[in-house]
Structure 1
Amino acid sequence: MNLGTPIQCSALSELGSFLRPLSVTDVDSCVIVESAFSESERCSEEKFRYRLSQTPELSIGLFINDGGNDRLIGHVIGNRISGGRVTEGSILMPENWRTLAHNKAFIEDGQVIGNDPNGTAIAVHSVAISPEYQGKGVGKAMVAAYIQYIKDAKISAECIMLIAHDYLVRFYESTGFENCGNSHCQFAGGGWFDLASFLIVPGFCIY
């Protein structure tokens, strides 16, 4: 997919919708969309700035034409991880990220914090849709488009991983993800499931 790629979704057919990679200039809009989550699960403004500075190619935004202006109504935000599943460390952000080289991992207590430049998998940390567009197939279309975007852009990765609550497992399975079981991640109280979309070798992320 290239800049301004149309999205196939009937609920958005008359709204001039399109997808494009995100950058730090989109941080404020991402914060607004992210407010759809409970406060304990939201990505902060600083963390958005970190992720969109480190791995902008792994994040896309869904926009509509709103009175002549492009408005973000959904996003998928990712970074790189090593190993098979999303870790609590990968969800965090190095305190010194502004002075940390992009090609250098920050390791604390034996685990990589935030983006792992040498990671062979993609961890999606946020899939968000503005409330007024939820329940209309928009999220499903966006997630499916994200998987296709990663493939079309020839981004090197064995799989795309994410964690989800039990009530969202079927949703992600409908977009091509596989349920890998209970997650060890205790972010925001735990209770998550690991899901994977395999890009190269099926089963790579399961251990």
Structure 2
Amino acid sequence: MSLYARQLNINDLERSLAVETAAFPPAEAATRQKIEYRLTVCPEICIGLFLRAGASLPSPIPHDIPFVEESTSSDDVLLAHVISTKTTNKPVRDEDMDYPRNWKEDPQGDYAVGHKKNGRTIALHALAVAPDYQRAGLGKAIMRVYIERTKSLNSADRISILTYDRLVPYYQRLGFEHYGKSESAYAGVAWHDLVSGIKSRKTNSNWDIVLHTIFVCVRDPYNGDVRCVA
């Protein structure tokens, strides 16, 4: 398949930085230092969507994109990325958006800001798609892969994001619940908190994963029946 997803690592720094800075305004894009920090201390919760070298973007985008352990070529194109840390908060807060300036002294240390390795919330900092590939369904595609990847790791109870008011419906369609306006003042933007709960329970030898989804219920004005859709 021409498209695949894999875990990012520090060798992807330059490509991830290029996607991030092209996708977001300067005040909102993560800096090189933040991306370097996140790809070093918690690469297991950062993934990229790649197009194999020389291949054309398929249309439509396939629903089941494979997750691979290693890249087959350094010439493959990074189309989109999801970069995250973990937090002990439920909604994302400003301290989660920051990073410790002295983290290189002890990359796995416990700091007041940034990644909390024992946290059960994934703070999703960036869902970024390279501008040349936007409006092709790649954002939804990488989020489907990311949610499934998060389930398989069984290392978090929820994914939490900050987003613009206009993108709230987009994330609701992906299963996120809207918690209203955020307390975060990051980059001076009026953010909104959204959370998708992911809980795992073990039944015999299989993992049974429950993903909370928003349902909308409407009463039929003619017969009084109530219809609910996800």
Q: TM-score range by the shorter chain?
A: 0.7 to 0.9
Question: Is contact 1:63–1:74 with CA below 8 Å preserved after alignment?
Answer: yes
| Structure-to-structure mapping, 1:1-207, within 5 angstroms | 16-35=2-21, 36-67=23-54, 69-102=75-108, 104-107=109-112, 113-152=113-152, 154-200=153-199
In structure 1, C-alpha distance between the alignment counterparts of 2:177 and 2:193, rounded to whole Å = 8
Paired amino acid for 1:144: R
Considering Cα pairs closer than 8 Å and 6+ residues apart, tell me whether 1 or 2 has the greater RCO. Answer: 1
Inter-CA distance 202–141: structure 2 relative to 1 (3 Å threshold): closer
Give TM-score scaled by structure 1 length.
Answer: 0.83
Cα offset for 1:79?
0.6
Runs of 4+ residues over 3 Å off in structure 1: none
Give TM-score scaled by structure 2 length.
Answer: 0.75
- The alignment's C-alpha RMSD in Å is 1.6
What SS does the corresponding residue of 2:150 show, helix, strand or coil?
helix
Question: Is contact 1:144–1:176 with CA below 8 Å preserved after alignment?
Answer: no
Inter-CA distance 202–33: structure 2 relative to 1 (3 Å threshold): closer
Paired amino acid for 1:53: T
Percent of counterpart pairs with the same letter? 35
Question: Is contact 2:41–2:107 with CA below 8 Å preserved after alignment?
Answer: no
Question: Is contact 1:182–1:192 with CA below 8 Å preserved after alignment?
Answer: yes
How many equivalent residue pairs? 182
In structure 1, C-alpha distance between the alignment counterparts of 2:34 and 2:41, rounded to whole Å = 10
Query: Bigger radius of gyration, 1 or 2?
Result: 2
Cα offset for 1:202?
8.1
In structure 2, C-alpha distance between the alignment counterparts of 1:77 and 1:99, rounded to whole Å = 22
Inter-CA distance 184–33: structure 2 relative to 1 (3 Å threshold): same
